[in-house]
Amino acid sequence: MLVRIPQLLSVEQITALRQRLEDAGGDWVDGRATAGTQGVKVKRNQQIAENSQTARELGDMVLTALERNPLFISATLPNRVYPPMFNRYEGGMHFGAHVDNAVRLLPGTGIKFRTDVSATLFLSAPEEYEGGELVMEDTYGAHSAKLSAGDVVVYPSSSLHHVTPVTRGVRLACVFWVQSLVSDDADRSLLFDLDNSIQRLTTDSPQHPSLVRLTNVYHNLLRRWVQV
């Protein structure tokens, strides 16, 4: 399931975040520092060091916004969110076709983290750079995303995906992963559609007698599928 989450961050937040990234200086490192065996062969970008104060503070800003976003909660049903990472592409940098590691270690904890949902938060406006499309593949073909600054796209971590070369300008983005309460993408998609239908019915016909029954179905499906 591929979902666009518009305006996770405001214009003011994006401006402040980008200023911090521009001032980061030595916090920028080779993106291959966090790549797996497969990714290190095709990853060509820069990223803010995971253990830096910049990464922690900006990551907290993103996590706070995620906690307050109903669409993100509904689409991903988060159990844990991996600390956001910030990257930069310019001068032909790209990230070739790869699949995200199924399991990651939470930095500094030794705790294993299953990646169910991948997410990219775009920090540069589309007109600021050429190339840099995030291309995701599923059974229906390839889907390209180059969203407005502040928008997020979430998609199954099992998807083969790549970032096309940036041939002009600079592409700034934030990436993170979600360990969902519901690990199966098809089950999450069903729950997402059901939740959206309940929300629309609540708006259009708040006294409709089916609302209680549909909500009951939603939560009982959660009880069947949730892993905690």
Mention every residue, 6+ apart, whose C-beta is less than 8 A from residue 33.
47, 49
Reading the block at residue 36, the tokens are 């797996």
- The C-alpha atoms of residue 160 and residue 137 are separated, in whole angstroms, by 5
* Positive or negative: CA dihedral 159, 141, 151, 127: positive
Cβ 14 vs Cβ 149: under 8 Å? yes
Confirm or deny that 151 is annotated as ligand binding. Answer: no
Confirm or deny that 171 is annotated as ligand binding. Answer: yes
Confirm or deny that 98 is annotated as ligand binding. Answer: yes
Annotated binding site for Fe cation: 98, 100, 161
Annotated binding site: 98, 100, 161, 171
Annotated binding site for 2-oxoglutarate: 171
